[in-house]
Amino acid sequence: MSIERFTSNWNYPTAVRAGIGRIKDLPAACQELGINNPLIVTDPGLCELPFVLDAMQHCREVLSGCGIFSDIKGNPTGENVTAGVKACHAGQHDGVIAFGGGSALDAGKAIALMVGQRREIWDFEDVGDNYLRVNTEGMIPVVAVPTTAGTGSEVGRASVITDQALKVKKIIFHPDMLPKIVILDASLTCGLPPHITAATGMDALSHSLEAYCSPFYHPMAQGIALEGIRLVKDYLPAAVTDGNNLEARMQMLVASSMGATAFQKGLGGMHALAHPLGALYDKHHGLLNAVLMPYVLKANESAIADRLTSLSRYLGLENPGFESFLNWVLELRQQLDIPHTLAEIGIDDQQLETVGQMAVADPSAGGNPIQFTAAEYQQIMMAAIKGDT
Ligand SMILES: [Zn+2]
């Protein structure tokens, strides 16, 4: 079968234009949303790359203007969002093209939210009904173009933004932050180096896996999670080994969107720990989930054994059960050169207590099959530092 078969339009969970080369549809997507002068929000590493410059050029030819903003950190901060809003006002932009990895997508969505607000961004943290404080008239539409396959932020209704003053990552939420149109074009992900492909792909896996294990009732998300995990199993190794394998790249891009769609059902302990560790040590979010995955699975074993038996049967693993699934995860990590311990990525036990407390308070903790205490999160972190699975 040829890669042509990927060319398709979906309307769930938002309007998705999938296929190799679909970036050509970017100006038309803007027009469809009434955007005449978009601001491309992208990562500093991408803003000089030909595919971003070409997309900007193409937009300028068809639309009345197009700007670019790329002053974003790997974990975007409130200051980055404020600077982006300023750029948006200065260029009189009427829409955002969030173009890049998870940080660019999260920053772009947050900038589009904040363009016409009087309150500060932290007033919209995903707590209770804070989102009702948003003046929706002050929001501008977003077209999302992911260039990594992992966060799935293109189909999410929230952004993770770091509050540098407090050193915590906050989830900023409003239902209308869901991008109006998403372009899933795997040709944009081919240049990603193997270690980023591996770390972001493991993030996609952790989204589907935590959603799948979470106890809440959401059969639609459950089905998406199951197939999302299979796509990672069948295509992530190939995407890491051969970055130009368009089929593997496309399937991973879809698996990433599926993971983020599935985690409406809930996340869990991997993310409850990865969020504080990311905020305190500034480490790659996907890499943290990848390292933490087997330790969190082990801690959850009593609550998830049955579910993982069904999952390993679906994946075609031998001797379906908790052990076979855990072994598959360990082998996959090894194959992808993911470090086995937190110690190997420079995380020690100095802030153990803080991390334990932050993990319990993290919104993701609510989706974990077992409600771990701060002390239990500390134990999991110690196991991940030492390598005890
Ligand atoms: Zn994640």
| pLDDT of the residue at 345 | 98
Please state the pTM of the whole predicted model.
Answer: 0.95
- Cβ-in-10-Å burial (0-12, 13-18, 19+) of 323 comes to middle
Q: How far apart are CA 68 and CA 56, in angstroms?
A: 8
Assigned CATH topology for domain 15-189:
Rossmann fold (3.40.50)
301 sits in which H/E element: helix 301-314
Which one, of 261, 186, 221, lies nearest residue 17 by Cα? 186
For the segment 269-316, what is each residue's pLDDT rounded down to a tens digit? 999 999 999 989 989 999 999 999 999 999 999 999 999 999 999 999
Check pLDDT > 90 for residue 165.
yes
The β-bridge relationship of strands 15-18 and 181-184 is parallel
Q: What distance in angstroms lies between residue 186's CA and the mean position of ligand 1's atoms?
A: 20
Q: What distance in angstroms lies between residue 64's CA and the mean position of ligand 1's atoms?
A: 36
Q: What confidence tier does 382 reach under pLDDT thresholds 50, 70, 90?
A: very high
| pLDDT of the residue at 249 | 98
Q: What distance in angstroms lies between residue 237's CA and the mean position of ligand 1's atoms?
A: 19
| pLDDT of the residue at 177 | 98
Q: In this structure, are residues 235 and 247 in contact, taking their beta carbons and an 8 Å threshold?
A: yes
16 sits in which H/E element: strand 15-18
CATH number given to 194-386: 1.20.1090.10
Q: What distance in angstroms lies between residue 259's CA and the mean position of ligand 1's atoms?
A: 9
Q: Which amino acid is it at 136?
A: T
Q: What distance in angstroms lies between residue 162's CA and the mean position of ligand 1's atoms?
A: 15
| pLDDT of the residue at 1 | 64
Q: In this structure, are residues 272 and 377 in contact, taking their beta carbons and an 8 Å threshold?
A: yes
First to last CA, the chain: 41
Q: What distance in angstroms lies between residue 152's CA and the mean position of ligand 1's atoms?
A: 8
Which two structure tokens, joined as six digits, stand for 268?
Answer: 């869990």
Q: What distance in angstroms lies between residue 102's CA and the mean position of ligand 1's atoms?
A: 9
Please state, rounded to an integer, the average pLDDT across all residues of the chain. 96
Q: What distance in angstroms lies between residue 59's CA and the mean position of ligand 1's atoms?
A: 31
For the chain, domain boundaries: 15-189, 194-386
Which residues face 161 on adjacent strands?
Answer: 170
Check pLDDT > 70 for residue 107.
yes
For the segment 220-254, what is each residue's pLDDT rounded down to a tens digit? 999 999 999 999 999 999 999 999 999 999 999 99
Q: What distance in angstroms lies between residue 21's CA and the mean position of ligand 1's atoms?
A: 27
Q: What distance in angstroms lies between residue 208's CA and the mean position of ligand 1's atoms?
A: 10
DSSP string, 19-32: STTGGGGHHHHHHH
Q: What distance in angstroms lies between residue 2's CA and the mean position of ligand 1's atoms?
A: 31
Q: What distance in angstroms lies between residue 76's CA and the mean position of ligand 1's atoms?
A: 15
Q: What distance in angstroms lies between residue 17's CA and the mean position of ligand 1's atoms?
A: 23
| pLDDT of the residue at 279 | 85
For the segment 295-307, what is each residue's pLDDT rounded down to a tens digit? 999 999 999 999 9
